[in-house]
Structure 1
Amino acid sequence: MSAPTSPERRWRDDLHLAHTIADQADALTLPRFEAQDFNVETKPDLTPVTEVDRAAEKLVRDYLARARGRDSVLGEELPPTGHAPRQWVIDPIDGTKNFVRGVPVWATLIGLVEDGEVVVGLVSAPALGKRWWAVAGGGAWTGRSLSSAKRLGVSSVGSLGDASLSYSSLSGWAERRRLRGMLSLMQSCWRTRAYGDFWSYMLLAEGAVDLAAEPELELYDMAALVPIVTEAGGAFTSLDGEAGPWGGSAVASNGRLHKAIMKHLGSETD
């Protein structure tokens, strides 16, 4: 009987592919961001989209079609393709509002789902000069390349009174009838800052913040984030306590504080 394949080896080629694709996406998005030479449209959900979002997603999809033609793909800007057990989940530019205003907090998110689990996650933020990634069972890392990386670990903070909370905005919490819980949580924490979007969760994985939450998110907003947070030792659920990126919302913590944050956010309030 052969020895079981380690997680690093099982998805090593997929991780390398994600890095290669991110390199290509960064080469497309960063110059356009720096030049601010693009058109901005409004989607039916009233969120902005640029031609760069669509071009970046097409680039990622074209690369995947050549390298992983049997896998399915789900992205934010283009229709899903394929019906395979392995699915790549893409957000070409997470933080488009920042992108169009010249704020450097935006990133390309690439996740791989296999048999209902996100097994690879990569977040590349070229305007910040940072990248984060993880493979299920292989730890979470940050650095400019696979060969030059530092392992990530969440904080050891064990009390909300000592905790730093990051979020995107307060809009949406009232619609989910959770605004009172969110405000209560904010008042219970030592510090609150709206770092926003993917960056809240990467700072959590780095141990720089201890909690992050958003009331309304799509799968492509979260898939790449989950393995990075959990492999760094954190917890990632929906507001209803469902593990992973499947519940339409995000509650992430260093693990020690998850019960405390769910006590504030885990039920509807008037």
Structure 2
Amino acid sequence: DAYAGEMVYHDGDLDEMRMCHGDYKKKLAWLGPGKKRRMIHRYLETFAKKVTVSPQSISSLSYAFSLYKLSEDKAAQILSDLCLAMPEKTASTGKLLFFGNHILKSPEARAKLEPIREMLASSYRDDVGISGEDIVDKSQKAMGEAAYREAVTKAGKDQTSLTPGWEVLGLTKEDAQRIWDEEEESGFVSSMEAKYSRAKLKYNDKGQRLDELGDVKPGQEDLDGNDDGSEVEASSSGAYECGQCGFTMFVAPGREKKFFGPGFKCPECGAAKDQFVGKNVEDQ
């Protein structure tokens, strides 16, 4: 755990990652022949849980594979074995599938990732009007778009041309330009800025949103105090995306209120439910 935690802590600093890896190879010699496998499995589990998708994290994981001297086929097999061993962790396995597909280039290596895709697809029910395979594909695309959106806002308000990183994330130039234009129009406000600006909104003890004068805003009169006042934009397709990390989930029609109940948090990054936005997947 200490090894995995330190490697993740130094994510993006390749020199520190190299030194950390070298130190722990010596410290963990007592693990014996299975040392390498146990180290990389624990690292990948922690990496998938704590590191968000970004051009930097793709580069870091690729570098980690090189520290272990893994061929593409071997890296793909390790990813597949690990993901299949934790079928209940769909958020982490979805991220590892994304990383694998954007780091590994050979058709043979990518073919070894297919069992992960199949497992994820089988975990979705068919009552949302879309197949499990399509859900996985759209979730993977949404993950890349959310990562690029975050990269764009992180680049700051003074940028005047397309932010680098879209190719690494597997986006087309057209999609990257669309995202960049949308963020430019909104002033390049990051998800964290948006989150904390929302936190300044005022609510009464029934969870009803108030205006600047302290009066209940229109449309809030029917709230009975059993919710926290935040709302989730409706989605005709049942798809909802976290605006903070890009995690996408699919909710059966009619179950939205129960699903996004009080205290709901993103299973991937812990963001509040007001970070989730309904997505019409047929438009993607």
TM class, shorter-chain normalised? under 0.3
Higher strand share: 1
Normalised by the length of structure 1, the TM-score is 0.28
Larger helix proportion of the pair = 2
TM-score, length basis structure 2: 0.27
